Structure 1
C-alpha cells in the first residue's frame, strides 16, 4: 500500500478523535456535576492526545512542511475526514453520552484490530489508545444504561437522543473501498468486522435496559470520509481554530 491510501485513513482516525475531544471540552464549566466535568475533560484530553499521534504520522507521510498542529488548525472544513457523528452538537447529557457511546463502540472495535496492524507505527498508537478507549467505552455504556434504565425523565431523554443521532451511525457500520483494501493488506481494520462488533455492543447495551434498537441507518448525501459535512463542523472549527489562525506565529 502506498502513502496515498494510508493518509485518508489516518485522517479519519485523527480527525474523529480531535473533533469528539473538542466537543467534550465544550462541557467545561457546564457539566451537571463536578465529577462528571472532570471525567469528560479527561476523556476529551485522551482523544486529543490520540489525535496528535495520528496527525503526527499523517504529517510525516504528507511531507509538505505541515505538522500535526497545522493539520488540526489550518485546514478548512472540506479537508476534514472525521465521522459525521462526532461533529454533532452536544445537546443535553443524554445526547452527549449516547453520542460518546456510539463513537466508543466503533473506536474500540477499530483499535482492537489496529493493535495487530502490519504497520508497526499504527499498531503502537492503537495499542496505547486501546487502553484508554476501553475505559471510555465502559463509562459511556454505563451512562446509557443509567439514563435509559433510570427515572422516567432520564429514560425519555435517552429515548429522544437515540433517533437524533442514529442516522449518523451508518458511517460506523460501513467503510470505504480504500479501508477494505487496507484491511486486506493487514494494515487497517476490516469495516465488516467493525460494523458487526459495533452492532453487537449497541444491541447488548440497549437490551440490558429495554431500549428499542432502531433499524439500520441508510446512507444519505453527507459523508465525513469524503469531506461532505453537516453545517455543525464549520462552526466548531471557527471556534477551535480562531487563535492559531489569528496569531499564526505565536509561541507559548
Structure 2
C-alpha cells in the first residue's frame, strides 16, 4: 500500500483508509414528520443502532475462530448486516436529535456510559453455543421490533425497518438451524446449548420489557409475545421444554438495571476501546 492509498489530501495529511462512503441517508427527505416526537425518534434509533453496533463487534471476534470457514463467513456477513443497520439508524439519530452528527460521532466518539444498547449484546462471546443462542434471542426480538416498525409514523425509520426485516429473518433462521443442530446432536452439544440458554435467561427480560420503540408503533407486549413464540418454536424443535430454559413472561426474574438507562456491564468498555482505538488516534481522519 502506497502513500497515495493512505492519504486523500497530502496538504492536510489526513489518513483516509476506508473513506468514500456517503451519508447513508443522502438524498432522502429527513425532516421529522408532524406529530412525531423527535426526542422519542432519536432515542429509539440510537438504542437500536447501539444494539446493532455492539452485536456486530462481538460477531467480528469470531473471525479466524469459527469452527468452519463457512460459519466464519456467515457470522461476518451477519455482522455486516448489523453494521449497515447501525449506519442507517445513527444517521437518522443525527437528524432527529437536531445535532446533525454523522454515524462516526455515535460509533467512535462516545464513552461506554453514553451507549444505550441492551446489556446482553455486550457480554463476552463465550463458546460457539453461547454466540448462536444469543444471536437467536436478539435476532428473534429485533425481528419482532422491526416488523412492528415497518408501520412507524416516521417514513425513514419505517423504510429502515423494512430493509432490516429481510436481513433479520435470515439471522434468525441461521441461528435457529444451529440451535436445532445443537439440541439434536451429541450429549456435549446439547449440554452446551442448555448452559447457554440458562446463562442468557436472566438477561431476556430486558429486551422483552423494552419500551424504547413503543411510541413509534412497536409495543413491548406485542414484541415480547412474538419473540417468545419464535423462541419456543425453535426450542421445541431442538428437543427442549422452553419453560425449563427460558422465562416465558416478561415478569420472570431478571438481572437489575437496564442498558437503555445507561447501566453497563464491565465488558463494554474493553469492547469499545478496541472498536474505537484507530478513530480516536486519528480524530481528523475521514472514514
TM-score by length of 1: 0.93
Write out aligned runs for 1:148-163 (5 A).
148-163=183-198
Distance 1:49 1:246, change over 3 A: same
Contact 2:257/2:263 (8 A) holds in 1: yes
5+ residue gaps, structure 1, are none
Residue 116 of structure 2 corresponds to residue 74 of structure 1: no
Contact 2:182/2:238 (8 A) holds in 1: no
Counterpart for residue 13 of structure 2: none
Counterpart for residue 126 of structure 1: 161
**Counterpart among 183, 208, 227 of residue 198 in structure 1:** 227
**Counterpart among 5, 11, 14 of residue 46 in structure 2:** 11
Distance 1:174 1:46, change over 3 A: same
Partner Cα distance (1:179, 1:135) in 2:
22
Contact 2:151/2:217 (8 A) holds in 1: no
Query: CA RMSD, aligned part only?
Result: 1.4
The Cα of 1:188 is off from its aligned counterpart by 3.1
Counterpart for residue 280 of structure 2: 245
What does the per-residue CA deviation read over 1:43-86, in whole Å, with 9 as the maximum and x for residues that have no partner?
Answer: 00000001000000001122325211111110111111111111
Counterpart for residue 32 of structure 1: 67
Contact 1:222/1:230 (8 A) holds in 2: no
Partner Cα distance (2:43, 2:99) in 1:
15
The Cα of 1:229 is off from its aligned counterpart by 1.1
Partner Cα distance (1:209, 1:130) in 2:
24
Give the structure with the larger helix fraction.
1
Counterpart for residue 109 of structure 1: 144
Contact 1:14/1:51 (8 A) holds in 2: yes
Contact 1:244/1:250 (8 A) holds in 2: yes
Write out aligned runs for 1:159-178 (5 A).
159-176=194-211
The Cα of 1:250 is off from its aligned counterpart by 2.0
Contact 1:84/1:168 (8 A) holds in 2: yes
What does the per-residue CA deviation read over 1:191-219, in whole Å, with 9 as the maximum and x for residues that have no partner?
Answer: 10000001111111111122242334434
The Cα of 1:175 is off from its aligned counterpart by 2.1
Residue 254 of structure 2 corresponds to residue 225 of structure 1: no
- Mark the structure with the bigger radius of gyration: 2
Partner Cα distance (1:169, 1:110) in 2:
15
Write out aligned runs for 1:207-222 (5 A).
207-213=236-242, 214-215=246-247, 216=249, 217-222=252-257
The Cα of 1:42 is off from its aligned counterpart by 0.4
Contact 1:172/1:198 (8 A) holds in 2: no
Partner Cα distance (2:89, 2:102) in 1:
11
The Cα of 1:220 is off from its aligned counterpart by 3.4
5+ residue gaps, structure 2, are 1-35
Distance 1:188 1:245, change over 3 A: farther
